[in-house]
Amino acid sequence: MAEADYDDEMSAADLKAALLDSLFGTERGLAARSEVRAEINELITQLEAKNPTPSPTEILSALNGEWKLVYTSNSELLAILALSKLPFVTIGDITQRVDVLNNTVENKAQISVPLSRTAVSTTASFEVRSPKRLAIRFERGAIATPQLLSDLSIPDSISVLGQSVDLTAVRGLLQPVESGLSGLISSVGSLISQQPDLSFPLPGAAGERGETWLLTTYLDDDTRITRGDGGSVFILVKEVSIATPSEIIEPPSSSAPIAETPAGYI
């Protein structure tokens, strides 16, 4: 069977599964090789052709909620993701919350460094310009009040300039002082947490330079693909769409507390 015929017979569900599978190991696009990017772009194009929601801005409720970024070709976001290559820096979830009641979008990136965790976010308003296009006007940025972490655990090793550095000896040296520092950090952290987040207007937010647009080219209940004005592509999901059998956890017993799970760009 010819490859083109095979592609034509694939359902949207099969294409979506193949697309999400192809993202494995790409670190949200940061580590994607050129041939992998080509495969992802081809699957995106095929999935867009089977879009079950051809006019997403006409049913904004389908866009509403919090979405988690799982892949992008956007250079600005890739620069943020690249910070994770620095020692002890971790880039957590990058999310987008769409509020259709207030016509706003909040983009947020979680960042962790030793003993501290924070988040950097931008808030924008949007207007519907076509059945697929939204005009975005960025208005404010914010840096969340740092949360001090009492967990002083040190990894077994870190990567520095591509070389693995063994930290097991350092872990042993710090163990005697870990409990004392944890108590101090907890006390200081409670004071810092009372401070408000740092919020500031974004340059150009009141003019044309603060505007962009985004096309939603695929949308279903838990997966969204958008394209930006610079040719960037974003794949976002709600948590359920990227669960794998190895990630499925047995539900807790009725006597155990149920932890709240955070929900996962237009």
Spell 240-264 as b/e; 16+ CB within 10 A means b: ebbeeeeeeeeeeeeeeeeeeeeeb
Q: Does the pLDDT at position 38 exceed 70?
A: yes
Q: Does the pLDDT at position 243 exceed 60?
A: no
Helix/strand/coil for 226: strand
What fold, for 3-144+197-240?
Answer: Lipocalin (2.40.128)
Among the listed ranges 5-19, 72-86, 146-160, which one has the minimum average pLDDT value?
146-160
Share of the chain above pLDDT 90, in %: 51
- pLDDT tens for residues 174-227? 554 444 444 544 544 454 455 666 778 876 544 455 688 999 999 999 999 999
Q: Token pair of 207, please?
A: 């003019």
Residue 121 near residue 142 (C-beta atoms within 8 A): yes
Mean pLDDT computed over every residue of the chain: 77
Beta strands 116-128 and 233-237, pairing class: unpaired
User: What's the one-letter identity of residue 189?
Assistant: G
Which residue, among 143, 145, 151, has the nearest Cα to 186 in the 3D structure?
Answer: 151
Which residue, among 250, 243, 125, 146, has the nearest Cα to 193 in the 3D structure?
Answer: 146
The phi and psi torsions of 43 (rounded to 5 degrees) equal -65, -35
Among the listed ranges 66-75, 164-173, 209-218, 238-247, which one has the minimum average pLDDT value?
238-247
More confident residue, 253 or 74: 74
Whole-structure pTM value: 0.72
Residue 116: per-residue pLDDT = 79
More confident residue, 253 or 36: 36
Mean pLDDT of 157-184: 54
Residue 153: per-residue pLDDT = 57
More confident residue, 239 or 62: 62
Residue 209: per-residue pLDDT = 55
Domain ranges within the chain, ordered by starting residue = 3-144+197-240, 151-196
More confident residue, 209 or 110: 110
More confident residue, 112 or 179: 112
Q: Does the pLDDT at position 70 exceed 80?
A: yes
